[in-house]
Structure 1
């Protein structure tokens, strides 16, 4: 029965009137008799609504959630949470999506609704992937896969398996073994959903698989699969749910230099995006059209679509809600820690009451016999030991909670740096690039005197310098080398840049090579970056030595200079933001920091991290 309810709601397709009058809808719901049939009916209606009807979907969803608050209706309630989460994910409102999906997941875990649990984990993985948190995305996809396989949920396993392969291919396609493994996962899943005749999954996976073949330059396979996907989309009447398909087809045509067909695909996608007024979809189409026209050499049209993209992007930044990097996980961790602390505190109160009773009973037993007294002493000692153990557990949990908060703060800083860097690159960078295109268009179409041409070229050169400076700022906020090539190349590039700009000689030495997680690499990069910047600003050093040593379970950082040194007592008297951030990052990895310095004798900073 549990499975039937979810399957019914997941695959229901009910024709609904577009642009539902919200006031009328609320009045209808108020008058509706609440029973299992009406709850299932409105859940299915919510599932079938178009992307631009999120307000109506939300009203129906909240009505179902409120009226399904009984144990016998709990699966309908969880399904309503899941459907709303899927709807908000589709329109890229990740804050609302996360709220409903995590609630659906919590209910599903408690009641063993394994299909809802698997689908919720898979969709949360999609949110992580859209926010470029690919490691967390794969983690959630694998959790969904494990639950689906344990419960023989074939469709859920196929979708999760495909998403794992797609994410691995996107992030590690340079590795031939990983590439083959990822493609095999995707093809295996694709064959499974075809056997199940799951049209919705076939369309989504055909489109994604076609895009993967395009990126791998296997254009023949990409063409066959994408054409099949388009036929299914049109026959199913599901254009609204597959806007990304048009951009993927356009990408294929762009790579094959068939620019007219690429423009036609982007325009098809743009028509759907305008019909449903989803800002992110509009940005995707405007940006693609600008790039295609630039490839064709039509700078005027490229500039027009670039300007439309910039305006829509600015509106999107002010309107759209993005989640923090680790927010989903941190919500769960903080909630679990708080619940454990409250439970242990309650246990302590119970034990304290028991101790009082034992003490009173012991005094009574003293009048009877000395043995009773000894027994009391023994019990009291045991109770105190247990109480101390409970207090230690509480202290440890509070410490873990602080670490979770520090984790969220530091990851939030890095996410904000990354977001600002992207906004600079995509927003202001796009605006400046568009301006340059306009200048070039004027240069090609206007005859200028010799003197005016020189002034025009100087202006164009100044614009190039401005674009270069903007890229340097974005690079400093989130180094491109760190994302593309890893920690060691990023540090080497940073040291070379500082040496060139400051005139200070830098020696970067690396001992051992070990792949770390994204968080560890970013934190180590920021620690070394802050230490080098402090030397450049304050020490008057002519030489800096940077050493990064990676053992099996530890990472050591050493930064030495031959500058003027300083009195270490100054660190306890001042609270600089730079050293505070270094200490937070060291504490996050349970590390230690040792500073050796004296005036006129240089400085040596030694850090050991347990990572």
Structure 2
């Protein structure tokens, strides 16, 4: 943070240094120059380059008039703000030469100030202060107090930011502030106080810094430079949450100077880390690194000296072209390396994704095979159960049923012959009738023959009619289904009805069968005591097995107050 603490001073140099240029009323291109100043105020720098180049083409090279000065100056200031320092230096020195050629002290002072700002950005304090001092001397001779304040402010900035001489800088600022307060120069009073507050922070005098910022607020001059200084104070006081809040407020605004923007990002990252918010710290650091890499590399003092030589020898254009070509070559090489690295990473990602997909498909296939194996086993079990039920039904009906019938006929014949034993024989015949009825009922329940002959609806209706507590309802179009489907749906219905009668203690059971063209729905609803939290019995487990085998869905709604409703739905 210390490395970037002086950035605020450099930013304020632009605020006071890059002021609009006034024009004399010479005939020529006053409208074009006024338009450039309007574009500069609106920060439309690309448009400034177009207008300036158009004006310079119209002005002959040997005519170094005020119009040439304004074109070079406006373009140079715009290039300086956007970080294109080599091109900015060329245009600003051309502006100085134009001002000297027409012997205009006002324009000469402004040209020296703009060149001083350029050297300031190159971290060359001596050259910057030298040009600022020339600007101050010209303003003093003319009695221009506002320009004197600007020059003193910029000299103080260079002294504090580059030379690290805070005491010497305060001397410049105090002199400038006294002049600004005397003439009521609002912009100078505001900006110098913010700068002095930043210096006081650097010296550890936080109380004096807060006093200066309060004075700034009192003159209604609060902006994000003051926010930055106040955030630095909060950081010194370890009030990290307040500092981060101010940094976020600054970043949410439109900050045109990239060095100041980077300083805010760097400080926000460091303070978030101190505050224990490592996620935010990393986010700010990534933004800082990306924006810093995108900035133009600061030109060294050697390049500025070459610009001066090129200005004097009028050969700078060729050097600029060479530098631009070298930059483009480096840029293309860098982009090529990045592209190759990105391509390599993409290939690695796709390879890993392909491996993962193959693994997932293999796992799904294994799971599918296991499910199919379980279904085959369940189907075999249920088929065996149905076959065994059918065999037992036939044996009861054809074997035991026939024997019982023959016994009844013999007893009936014997009764006719033995009239004296009539009462006893009547009792025996009655028992035989009941045995035959029960045997038929058991055979029917095991595997009703009518199911194969007539289908699900009539057999289920007949089963429900066997109990006064069960009501049966049928909706839809009656049609025959696959044999396995009819048997399993019948067994599911029987099991659910028996469970309701035996375990739920239901007094009323409603059975509803709905058949559509491509679906079937069975609902068994009772008014019993509900299933509660008890575990499922063997009956319901068998029902679930049959449903899973059919590929149907089961929905159970149960409660102590409303009984149980079980719905089976099947696409068929």
Q: TM-score, normalised by structure 1?
A: 0.43
Larger Rg: 2
Higher relative contact order (CA 8 A, sep 6+): 2
